[in-house]
Amino acid sequence: MEKFTTHTGLVVPLDIANVDTDQIIPKQFLQKTERVGFGIHLFHDSRYLDHSGKEPNPEFVLNKPEYKGTSILLARENFGCGSSREHAPWALEEFGFKIVIAPSFADIFYGNCINIGLLPIKLSEDEIDQLFAQAQGAKLNLTVDLANNNVSFINESGAKVSFSFELGKFHKYCLEEGVDSVGWTLNKLETIEAFESKMPSWQ
C-alpha cells in the first residue's frame, strides 16, 4: 500500500445516487480472492452494451474520451451501499482511481477503501454540486492535500476554490504511512508478544 500525501488528477462525474457494490463490480466477477483482474469489470453493466464486455457503451461517462486517464471519481450520496464485498474498492483502485468524492458513503465500503489506500472524501451537498457543475463539459483537475485535509481547484474565472474535509485520525495515519489494519497491528508485534509472554500458560 502506497503512502498518500497529495494527488492532482482529472475528475470524472458519475451523477448517480445510491451506487451499490453490485453496480461497481457485479457478482459474476467475484470468483477471485486476489486483488487483481477486477478493474476491467468496473461498472460492467453500465460500461458495456453486451454481457461479454466487448462492446463499450459510448454514453457511459467512463467511456467518454474527455475523461480518459481519470483518477478521481465524483459521485452522489450513499456511494458503495449494498453488500460488504471488498472487490468494489479493489476494482476502483485497479481501474486507476486514487480518490472517491461523495456526500456520504456506506460504512463498510468506506473502511474497505481506507484499507487499500483509496481515499474516500466526504463533502457537503453544496460543494458536491459545485464540483459537478465544474466537471460537466470541462476538464476539472482537483488537488487533494491529505496533510491539510483540503481539496482545491482553479475555476473558470481563474480563482482558486478550496474545500475542507474531515478524516479520522487513525484513517489519516494509515493513509499517510501506507499501512492497512494488518500492517498497523504488525507494527505493534513487540508489544503484543511482551503481553503474551506474561500470560499464564493455561490462557
- pLDDT value for 202: 72
- pLDDT of 182 reads 61
By the 8 A CB rule, do 193 and 14 touch?
Answer: no
**Edge-to-edge strands of the sheet including 119-122?**
119-122, 99-102, 72-74, 6-13, 141-145, 150-154, 160-164
pLDDT on residue 71? 98
- Quote the pLDDT of residue 186: 59
- Give dist(CA 116, CA 74) in Å, integer: 19
Residue pair 48/111 in contact (Cβ under 8 Å)? The answer is no
For residues 109 and 20, what is the distance between their CA atoms, to the nearest angstrom?
10
Round to whole Å and give the CA distance between 54 and 77.
30
Q: What DSSP state is assigned to residue 38?
A: -
Q: Write a three-state SS string for 108-177.
A: HHHHHHHCCCCEEEECCHHHHHHHHHHHCCCCCEEEEECCCCEEEEECCCCCEEEEECCCCHHHHHHHHH
> pLDDT tens per residue, the chain (203 residues)?
889 999 999 999 999 999 999 999 999 998 877 788 999 999 999 999 998 888 999 999 999 999 999 999 999 999 999 988 899 999 999 999 999 999 999 999 999 999 999 999 999 999 999 999 999 877 899 999 999 999 999 988 889 999 999 999 999 999 999 987 666 555 666 766 667 767 777 76
What residues are paired with 162 via a beta bridge? Answer: 152
Tell me the three cell numbers of residue 141.
483537475
Cell readout for 40 is 476491467
Amino acid at 52: S
Scan for cell 494527488, then name that residue: 7
C-alpha cell read off for 19: 451506487
Quickly tell me which residue has 456506506 as its cell: 106
**Rg over CA atoms, the chain:** 19
Q: What stretch of H or E contains 88?
A: helix 87-95
